[in-house]
Amino acid sequence: MNQIEFKENKLLSRAKKSPLLGRMLLYLITILSIVSPLSGCSSLSKINGETTNVEVKLGNIDDFVKYEKSVNSEDITRNYFVDVSEGIYPFIKNHKFEIPKEYKSNPQQNIVLTKCYYYNSQGEVKLIYYQWNEKNNYEKSNEVFEKIFYEVRSNITKQIGSPSEINLESKTINDDSTFRDDIKWNSSHNVYMFRFGDNENRHNEINLVIYKD
């Protein structure tokens, strides 16, 4: 028996002893039954700082590995190279990378965040690939991913200035087709963020890359 059910049973037993008290308690039970599920939804749509904490920097792979271990990220590194297209990393042909280090975390209960660090034999990280996805068994929510998208955008803009390119299909598509939102920043470290989604909440995904040549 959960806490709400326990409270309701106690209230109902008291209600039998007084008609006036009964009406008041039944009203209270109704309010509790409405507020309880809504509060659960609110907690899922709230975005915490860990979910959108993106620092625009590159460095040595050892430092990033140390950081991921310190926050208890799960090491999901594969035993083969994970390729990346020139559309995402324009300088891919200029480098020979080691097998990238991959980590997974759950910054909040309905979100899975993965990071992939591409580095060379000298340990220099040239590209970090972030991806936010919905965790299985949780209700899909455009609202949550829109919040993440815009909070990350604000975070990056504070660090390196305004975007150089913005294309938001989600603002123009009214049917159930898939949209793609793109934002790019050009600085000493380039940043490219793109989001996939649709108005039917069938799919939500955010990708972000921080890179340099």
pLDDT tens-digit readout, 146-166: 999 999 999 999 999 999 999
Three-class secondary structure of residue 140 per DSSP: coil
Q: What is the per-residue pLDDT for 207?
A: 97
- Name the average pLDDT for the chain: 83
Q: What is the per-residue pLDDT for 137?
A: 61
Q: What is the per-residue pLDDT for 203?
A: 79
Three-class secondary structure of residue 18 per DSSP: coil
pLDDT in tens, 45-104: 678 788 999 999 999 999 999 999 999 999 999 999 999 999 999 999 999 999 999 999
pLDDT in tens, 169-182: 988 888 778 899 99
pLDDT in tens, 12-51: 455 455 556 555 545 544 444 443 333 444 445 678 788 9
Sign of CA dihedral 36, 41, 42, 48: positive
Q: What is the per-residue pLDDT for 142?
A: 79
pLDDT of 204 above 70: yes
Q: What is the per-residue pLDDT for 32?
A: 43
Strands of the sheet with 125-134, listed across from one edge: 74-75, 101-108, 111-119, 125-134, 204-211, 190-197, 179-185, 165-168
Residue 118, beta-bridge partner list: 127
Q: What is the per-residue pLDDT for 194?
A: 96
Q: What is the per-residue pLDDT for 27?
A: 52
Q: What is the mean predicted confidence (pLDDT) over 123-138?
A: 90
Q: What is the per-residue pLDDT for 171?
A: 86
Q: What is the per-residue pLDDT for 97?
A: 97
pLDDT of 8 above 50: no
- For residue 74, give every residue at least 6 positions away whose Cβ sits within 8 Å of its Cβ, in sequence order, or none: 103, 104, 105
